[in-house]
Amino acid sequence: MSYLSPLLNRSGAVQAGGLDAGVAAHYGDPNREQRLLAGYLGKPGSAVVDLSHRGVITVTGPDRLSWLNTLSSQSLTQLPAGVSTELLLLTIQGRIEFDARVIDDGETTWLIVETAEAEPLATWLNSMKFMLRVEIADVSADWAVLGSVTDVPEWNELLVWVDPWPQVGAGGYSYAAIDEAEHPGLERPWREYLVPAATLEETLGGRSLAGVWAAEALRVAAWRPRRGAETDEKTIPHELDLLRTAVHLVKGCYKGQETIARVHNLGHPPRRLVFLQLDGSLHTLPAPGSQVLLEDRVVGTVTSVAQHYEMGPIALALVKRSLDPDAVLSVNDDGELYPANQELIVATDAGQVVGRQSGFLRTPR
């Protein structure tokens, strides 16, 4: 049976679809909810978002961190308790198979994933145990997630994953075409609290709720890629600037590492993520999956769309790396055309770091 959040019983709740089916898209006033979430209506970040549909996996046992380290793109062996990070599990070709938010409490490593990823990820991890001292459990039914842009003092006892985006982590690398101090992701300090499902409503108390539409608008504005939205069966981390938070370039061997190193050092990613400012005069939004056009030629695909409380209609899209960054584009949604101005997220010269003398790519720390 599909999950339905108990918070859908709240007044005005309208259920979301797609990746966020099972929780509320909004509670009757999406624009106000977004302002509350972002902290622009008096109390800073006074609203929280119901993300109780998220998948939650636990990994226990003394070998858990070293074992996850050998499987994933991230360096985890020395991960301190309470420190948040992100890992990718890749195919041999370096394509993204799983993307997990990671927090360890000293005894258990918690992985927060998209709803549809929990069961297959737990199954795959169990198949990779061999003789190591690890135990994997899909605890999605027992744990819920609440999202916020600020620290909630009343929840200090809860385990919280703090999004490392857009900071460049240890061993990471920025493909951004702007100065790091100007990255829009800095305006979205995101947190995800792990809450026992049985106490979800009690934990929430009287706090204001914002729907996932509000959270998605802030995510898109922060250029933050999402598994299942910005990814397809061909996506490699370089295309989404995920080397900054989810890949450690100088750690030991893992599946897909050869592709990660080859593209980073010698090649270029075939596609790049861009931010689109859409023409809002049509008073509608194109659907994810719509074609991105340069005149009559298809040059990419829209991956996420949102209505931002300040910027209006915005989107993320994957386009061909060779696309002129100054080109004015349009988005074609079943014949409806939306003029779109692109803003670089991943630089046009991303990759090919070996022999690079200068440029705006950031080196590993």
Say which residue the tokens 């169990």 belong to: 126
Range of the domain at 299: 271-344
Whether residue 121 is contained in a domain is answered as yes
pLDDT score of 54: 98
pLDDT band at 131 (very low <50, low <70, confident <90, very high): confident
Whether residue 24 is contained in a domain is answered as yes
Q: Is 158 found in the same domain as 98?
A: yes
Whether residue 310 is contained in a domain is answered as yes
**Where among 269, 286, 310 does a domain terminate?**
269
CB 38 within 8 A of CB 129: no
In percent, the amount of the chain with pLDDT more than 90 equals: 91
Q: Is 148 found in the same domain as 56?
A: yes
Q: Is 287 found in the same domain as 229?
A: no
Q: Is 140 found in the same domain as 13?
A: yes
Query: Above 50 in pLDDT, residue 364?
Result: no
The number of domains in the chain is 2
Separation of alpha carbons 340 and 299, rounded Å? 13
pLDDT per residue as tens digits for the range 241-271: 999 999 999 998 999 999 999 999 999 999 9
pLDDT score of 282: 84
Half-sphere exposure of 348 (CA within 13 A, CB side): 9
Whether residue 365 is contained in a domain is answered as no
- Note the pTM of the prediction, 2 decimals: 0.95
pLDDT band at 365 (very low <50, low <70, confident <90, very high): very low
Q: Which residues of 250-283 are buried (b: 16+ CB within 10 A; e: fewer)?
A: ebeebbbbebbbebbeeebbebbbbbbbbeeeee
Whether residue 145 is contained in a domain is answered as yes
Q: Is 223 found in the same domain as 264?
A: yes
Q: Is 306 found in the same domain as 211?
A: no
pLDDT per residue as tens digits for the range 83-117: 999 999 999 999 999 999 999 999 999 999 999 99
Q: Is 325 found in the same domain as 288?
A: yes
pLDDT per residue as tens digits for the range 319-362: 999 999 999 999 999 999 999 999 999 999 999 998 664 444 44
pLDDT score of 252: 84
Query: What does DSSP assign to residue 363?
Result: P
pLDDT score of 359: 43
Q: Is 286 found in the same domain as 261?
A: no
Q: Is 315 found in the same domain as 238?
A: no
**Where among 215, 244, 269 does a domain terminate?**
269
Whether residue 350 is contained in a domain is answered as no
Half-sphere exposure of 358 (CA within 13 A, CB side): 0
Q: What is the CATH number of the domain that holds 36?
A: 3.30.1360.120
Q: Is 337 found in the same domain as 228?
A: no
Query: Above 50 in pLDDT, residue 363?
Result: no
Query: Above 80 in pLDDT, residue 45?
Result: no
Whether residue 355 is contained in a domain is answered as no
pLDDT per residue as tens digits for the range 269-317: 999 999 999 998 888 999 999 999 999 999 999 999 999 999 999 999 9
Q: Is 73 found in the same domain as 2?
A: yes
Q: Is 312 found in the same domain as 169?
A: no
Q: What is the CATH number of the domain that holds 282?
A: 2.40.30.110
Residue 260 dihedral angles phi and psi, to the nearest 5°: -55, -50
Separation of alpha carbons 218 and 261, rounded Å? 31
pLDDT per residue as tens digits for the range 164-219: 999 999 999 999 989 999 999 999 999 999 999 999 999 999 899 999 999 999 99
Whether residue 356 is contained in a domain is answered as no
**Where among 269, 289, 312 does a domain terminate?**
269
